[in-house]
Amino acid sequence: MTLNFVYTKIRTPSYFKFTVNAAGIITVTITEPISNRGQYTGYSYSIYDPNFILLGTGYGSGSQTYLPAQAIATSAGDYYVVVSYNYLAPTGIYQLNITVPQAAPTPTYSLVANSSTVTEGANASFILTTTNVAAGTSISYAITGISSSDLLTGSLSGNVIIGSDGKGTISLGISADKLTEGNEVLTLTTQNKSASITILDTSTTPAPLVTNETHTLSVIVNKGVLSSNAVLLKGLNEKMTLTNGIISLHTVEYAGTTYDFNAIDSLITTVIRDGEFTDEFKKELTDIAPSTANLTYKDAVLLMGTLNIDTQLLFVAGFDGNFVA
């Protein structure tokens, strides 16, 4: 800044107040009127802080010998320059030249969403526009309103790099999670600015695949349940309900009563299902005779005969002393 003042031959110091907006170096010089230059004129000038404590001095003269006054401003505030005249200088308008530190420009930020809604499987985009922010600056952001699993990155925070145009684009991949959650509002916040996008729940949970199976089942009931001896029950009605390939309901009907399979599983060994040995009974067979791994129930009937087959099945199941594993 430049301040003009008029010097008269009355040697009264002149006081000037100026404002500093940031810490830094203050420099003060005086410029004489051109008409006065070359004449023997002298003056000094001093810089004072807001508490009027002397910080630095300088002087100038008509001989064009100048020593600037410099001082360090430690904080913003009102500072002072006092100009004193050492000699009878010619009257005229003098210029007081004061260089003050400049405060760094204040950054500004604005954040907008590129759209109000987005579908699952698409990208949610935001643009951060800045001023007075250097290109290449990394700025962090946070996301609320959704869970980390809703984003392809699996993270609810990140950083955006500001380009030479002062802008940064944030693109978030939305997971098509195939869950029925309802619409969700994604809110992104950075530098105390927020913007939101509604995620439309377009990838809903598929309806479960339910299938029903009915089988004819033969089982060996452990001794002490129906009788003191183990009993072979044949031709039971077995029903299974599978939800997405997993058994969700399993029952066995015996003597007009329907039993939950899981409730009686520890009491029985399954032997034949739809005319074939069950995997459970095949293990009993191969434990006794590994060579029977490929033996079918039909082959066993041919080998043992229909009159002996039931007895042989009980023998195999109880060979290790336990009819139920």
Q: What percent of the chain has pLDDT over 90?
A: 63
Instruction: Provide the angle, in degrees to the nearest 10, between the axes of the packed helices 309-317 and 279-288.
Output: 80
Handedness of CA 303, 305, 306, 311 (dihedral sign): negative
Average pLDDT over residues 309-315: 93
8 A C-beta contact, residue 26 and residue 70: yes
Residue type, 177: D
Average pLDDT over residues 237-261: 94
3-state secondary structure of 141: strand
Strand partners, 173: 123
What the chain holds in terms of domains, given with CATH numbers, is: 2-99 (2.60.120.380), 108-200 (2.60.40.2030), 210-317 (no CATH)
Report CA-CA distances (Å) from 164 to 129, 140, 193.
11, 18, 21
Average pLDDT over residues 133-139: 96
Residue 10 has pLDDT above 50, yes or no: no
Residue with the larger pLDDT of the pair 210 and 88: 210
What is the per-residue pLDDT for 32? 67
What is the per-residue pLDDT for 9? 43
Average pLDDT over residues 185-192: 97
Token pair, residue 197, equals: 């996008």
- Express each pLDDT in 58-69 by its tens digit: 876 655 556 788
Instruction: Provide the angle, in degrees to the nearest 10, between the axes of the packed helices 297-304 and 309-317.
Output: 120
8 A C-beta contact, residue 160 and residue 128: yes
264: enclosing H helix or E strand: helix 261-264
What is the per-residue pLDDT for 33? 63
What is the per-residue pLDDT for 274? 96
Confidence of residue 261 (pLDDT cuts 50, 70, 90): very high
Token pair, residue 210, equals: 């339910």
Confidence of residue 103 (pLDDT cuts 50, 70, 90): confident
Residue 240 has pLDDT above 90, yes or no: yes
What ranges make up the beta strands (E) of 174-290? 184-190, 193-200, 210-221, 231-243, 246-254, 257-260, 268-273, 276-277
299: enclosing H helix or E strand: helix 297-304
What is the per-residue pLDDT for 184? 93
Q: Please state, rounded to an integer, the average pLDDT across all residues of the chain.
A: 87
